[in-house]
Chains A and B, each alone.
Chain A
Amino acid sequence: MGSASPQFLAYAFAVILVFNFSRSVAWRQFALLAASVGFLGFFSLHPLAFLPLAAFLAYGFASLRLMQAKKANLYAPLLLLGIVAFMWLKKYSFIPAVLFLPHPYLTLGLSYIFFRALHLIIDARNGDLPPDISLLSYLNYMLNFTTLVSGPIQRYEDFAAMQLAPVPLPLNLLVAGEALERIIVGFFKVNVLSLFLSMIQASALNSLHDNGPAGARILNGVIIAAIYPFYLYCNFSGYIDIVIGIARFLRIQLPENFNRPFASDNFITFWSRWHITLSTWLKTYVYNPLLIVTMRRWPSPAAEPFLGVLAFFVTFFLIGVWHGQTSVFIFFGVLQGLGMSVTKLYQVLMAKWIGRKRYRELARNGLYNVATRGLTFTWYAFTSLWFWSNWKQLDALARTFHPGEIAWVWLLIFVGSSVILALWEAMRGWLLSFQFQGQPLLLSRYIRTAANTALVVISIGTMSLLNAPPPDIVYKVF
């Protein structure tokens, strides 16, 4: 079952009907767990395939209980055990293959279960969690089928506050309408926009010939590199829209994971708007502790900004490493870390050289913003090459272009993205400037009703006409 397919939606709506049969906490917990277990059943029916996942869940629950029982001496070994077990089950390439389990097993959602497990262990040790986390609540938090596949990563306290509340979140007509709107928009993003964008990129890749004219090759290079970030955004944020909408029908409010990332004018802002819950998790559990530890080790105010640069690099290097099991993702991590740390270093040095006030003024300059927005997009598009391809494909791509052509490709992407994103921002601002009853006309429920109806018709029409299987979610494999 595709993660954003009509079948998934049909399953989710069946669950919504059953879930809302009763408002009692017990019923809601039982219904959600049954729905999550049922969802897993779509991916395998072989009991052996679930054993590693079950063992990892058992590890998480046992560790949580041990931390709540104040067994502080087990804290580091348990964290280490979790990290090693995760890498082993995900078959990281540096681990000898002979050590891997011989039979096929399910790793669906393991990465997100891993984050949730570490969050529970760390916060339980710090006493930040409620003391009475039952096995049922734990399993519901870990396996919630709306967040299992690709997040978003919700904190346990936020989840429990809604799931275990005696009075569930209200579900009136307006809320239902907004939830449905999220599902429709997400479905359109995944099944229409991302599908077309992937087709455009695939077509450009197919028409990339060594002996073609240089102009056509450069244009194809621009399309190949620049389309992917938009494709990934539509694919991933569309899926998140869908699960946020579904979860709201299940009386759970999931955190947002995207906030117009391509409007970012620097790479640090970009990562605070892109996969927000992952970057927030890493900031909470990697960046902040690392910064504190290094500041204690080198307690100099002058060194503090540079320690931040270092902490940024390590944190976002880990983001890259988390994404995949091969060396290409290590390089992806290095590039993410470089993007973040160089941006931070630039901010520190500019504030030092021209003064904070003048730097703030510069950062507010419209033309400067246009260029930095384009640069941020270009850097992300460049680093994405190590996200969607492997070394062999990268080698083939590099051989296709002459060095001068590669320079042209990135120059065109920088100029093009600067102009297009600036125009987009300007048009968005202009459209939102029209007011109706104290809010932008474009956001009135009448316009939104018409727009969402159109999206439904276009989605159904496109899916019927193309007759292609719905695209799967890129982040499902992580």
Chain B
Amino acid sequence: MNEFNENDIGTLLRLKRHEQPPPDYFDNFLHEFHRRQRAELLRQPLWRIALQRAQDFMLQLNVPTLTSYPAAATAVVVCAAVLSLKVYQTPESATAMPAVATVAVQQQAAPVAVSVASTVTDDDESWSLSTRDFGSTPFRSVSDGARTHRPAASPRYVLDSTPVSYEPSLRF
């Protein structure tokens, strides 16, 4: 009696091809597959279904051929960052500019006010009015202070000669 050789093993195993499921099994397999897919779809959360729909939509647009996903994601992040910087910085700079201008004007005006205060008296209305016009009033130099003497002031006289009483007595 011969032993099983390798060919016999192969032949025996090939006979296993004749083990077949019931005749209608393959006909019903596709229906069963669809039924299971529907059941699985119903078990999925809503957000996942929405995500899949979005992916399908993007695939229909053929977006992946235009650019790779990482590049697209990076571009979106960069754009979002630039936009957010512009959006959040523009109003602040717009409000900051007048403030800076005000400070600058005040810094310019401060010496004027000081100089005016030092040279003009309280009862001179014209000077006080004119000094409020910060843009047009020029700085006044200290040397101009001589012209500010009021005309009503009493004249001062300087004696060039020494008093008689201080003159030395005559010597003969």
Report if A and B associate in a common complex: no
